[in-house]
Every structure is written in structure tokens, then in C-alpha cells.
Amino acid sequence: MTPGIRERFCTVVLDVDSTLCGIEGVDWLAKRRSPEIATLVAAETNRAMRGDKPLEAVYGARLEAVRPSAKDVLALSLAYSGTIAPGARVALAKWRAAGIETLLISSGIRQAVLPVAEDLGIPAASVFAVDLEFDANGGYAGFDERSPLATAMGKRDLLASLAPGRPILAVGDGSTDAAMRSASDAFAAFTGFVARHAIMSQADFVVSSFDQLDEIVLGVAR
């Protein structure tokens, strides 16, 4: 191997909220309700992402507090699109050209993530998130409670079941992302939007931008 060059990764697994995009989806939806609900939901999100509480202990309660409608989810998708991390679009295009597979594994709302993935050239089959359910009027009617992605270890378990090409790099900002370390070959803590020291301490790499992440994915040592 040429000095200064590492083996590139064959698969990149990206979190969405506060990694690929600069917002936490359910927190963003909560702000559309009231300051009280926004504060409550954000606190629970932070506890889960730090690993202080298992995600399954807060997932349904947060959604029940917000009760997002189909229109709310459409608005969230547009908000995601407006906060795509700087450099992400270019990096994903480079990985695609190099034959590197990108998977989105998110505990967020699948209906909101899919349009963003399509815009970035990621096929729907490579997007894993939690489906919401709506009534005939587009009102909130629950979520897919069978989804492993509504649990603390769900991303790890899902990735292990997929068995994509190795080596695999998992990327994210929270405890559910760090849990993927045991199902991948390396974990990169992304700090471009939120820096959580407990997560950074578990990472093989700490990156604050997609430019830095791109060098790691393609095997270019700095």
C-alpha cells in the first residue's frame, strides 16, 4: 500500500438527524406545537442521544406529544433538504462514482427522509427509518412499533442483518449510531452540528465536516 494511503471503505452508513442534515426531526416538529412541548421533547431526545435513556423509553412518548400530521411530515422533509450538511452532496456523488454504497439508517421518520435521499441519489431500498401511520384525514395515527429503529440497539441489529460490503464505516452523532460500531469496521462521530463527548470517546474517527469524512471514506490519510 502506498505510504499515507489507507484502505477505502466499501459501505458508508449515515445517520440523518444532526449528521446528514442539521436538525433533529422530532424536535423540529415539536417546535411547531408549543414552547413547552418543544422543551420536553428536546430534553428527551438529548437524553436518548447521550445514552442516558434507551431510545425505546422516549420514542413513542415524543411522537404522542407532537402527533405530527402528514402535512407536518412534508414540511419536515423540506426542512431536512434545506439543512443538508455542507459538502455532503459532493461527497455522496464521489462515493457513488467510486462504487461505494451509501445507506441511510435513521430513527427518524421515513416519509420525511425518502425525498431527501432521492434528491441525493440514494435509492429507496437503501433508506431505513421509521414509518408513521396517518388516518384518512392525514392526522397522526401512530408509528411502526415493530421497527427496530425505535430502539437503542436497533441500528446495530439492522446493520448486522443487512451484511453490506466490507469494510463498513458507520457515521453519526448519537448513542444509537455509536452502537453500530460492533456491526461495522469503524465508527466516525460527526460533530458538525452537535458534539457529544460521550459519543466522541467511542469513535475511531471524529469529523466535523463531510470534507473530512470524504478523506476517511476514500482512504486518503491526512
Measuring CA to CA, which residue among 49, 52, 24, 48 is closest to residue 38? 24
The pTM of the full predicted model, rounded to 2 decimals, is: 0.93
Q: Residue 137 sits in a domain of what CATH number?
A: 3.40.50.1000
pLDDT of residue 6: 64
- 5: in domain: no
DSSP structure string for 129-175 = EEPEEE-TTS-EEEE-TT-GGGSTTHHHHHHHHH--SSSEEEEESSH
Count of the separate structural domains present in the chain = 1
pLDDT of residue 221: 54
- The bridge status of strand 140-143 relative to strand 132-134 is antiparallel
Residue 4 lies in a domain: no
Model pLDDT for residues 121-160, shown as the tens digit of each residue: 999 999 999 999 999 999 999 999 999 999 999 999 999 9
In a domain, 51, yes or no: yes
Residue 73 covered by a domain: yes
Residue 25 counted as domain residue: yes
Give mean pLDDT, residues 10-38: 97
**142 domain-assigned:** yes
Closest CA to 104 of 116, 95, 94, 96: 116
Domain that holds residue 34: 11-217
Tell me if 116 is assigned to some domain: yes
Per-residue model confidence as pLDDT tens digits over 66-112: 999 999 999 999 999 999 999 999 999 999 999 999 999 999 999 99
Is 15 an annotated catalytic residue? yes
15, 27, 177, 214: the catalytic one is 15
C-alpha grid cell, residue 34: 408549543
In a domain, 192, yes or no: yes
Which helix (H) or strand (E) segment is 189 a member of? strand 186-190
Catalytic residue, chosen from 17, 72, 173, 177, is 17
